[in-house]
Amino acid sequence: MSSSASSNNPLITINAATTINEKLTSSTFSQWRAQFEALLIGYDLMNFVTSDLQCPAIDAENSAASKAVNSRWIRQDKLILHALLASTSTTITLLLASCKTSHEAWNKLTCLYAGKSCTHAMQLKEDLTLNNSGNRTTTEFLQAIKLIADELARIDHLVSDDDLTFLHSQRFGSRI
């Protein structure tokens, strides 16, 4: 059993208002997810939302102890679910209102917004390749490329240094 499920450990409450710097909206999923995952991993609670740690069944032979472990798991999961709900905008909270577990809410958010991250990444990559046109100075060009590469990194779509060098050489020829 994971340390986060042990009945000897205190329940962990995540104050989303002070630990997540902006509420989840339809356009902030990648940043929000990175922050929330860091918190869950830091508190050893990620296994609740991934469903790697299932709610323990109540054992009839050891009823009191198994009820306590089961109750603790449910209480910890509800605290995580609360943090998820508290860290979302009101329109998204409505979409999660029927979720009974943190795993269910996490999956719903991933289904709703992870695909949009992929679409956003494709758009940014297209912007990278089209960014060679125009009458920008070298500094302006490099700043624009850096902004796009940084945004791609934030949504877990890293651009390699080789790709950036290639874009630069496309724009400026062999003057690198």
Tens of pLDDT, residue by residue over 25-71, are 877 888 899 899 999 999 999 999 998 888 888 887 878 888 999 99
Residue 60 lies in a domain: yes
Residue 137 lies in a domain: yes
120 against 94, higher pLDDT: 94
Residue 124 lies in a domain: no
Residue 39 lies in a domain: yes
- Domain range for 1 is 1-116
Residue 160 lies in a domain: yes
Residue 77 and residue 160 in one domain:
no
Number of domains in the chain: 2
Residue 86 and residue 159 in one domain:
no
Determine which helix (DSSP H) or strand (DSSP E) holds 29, and give its type and residue range: helix 29-42
| pTM, 2 dp | 0.64
What percentage of the chain exceeds 70 in pLDDT?
A: 82
Last residue of one domain, picked from the residues 116, 145, 160? 116
171 against 3, higher pLDDT: 171
Residue 68 and residue 12 in one domain:
yes
Mean of the per-residue pLDDT values of the chain:
82
136 against 51, higher pLDDT: 51
100 against 17, higher pLDDT: 100
List the single range of 67-71, 95-99, 103-107, 136-140 with lowest mean pLDDT.
136-140
Last residue of one domain, picked from the residues 64, 83, 116? 116
Residue 123 lies in a domain: no
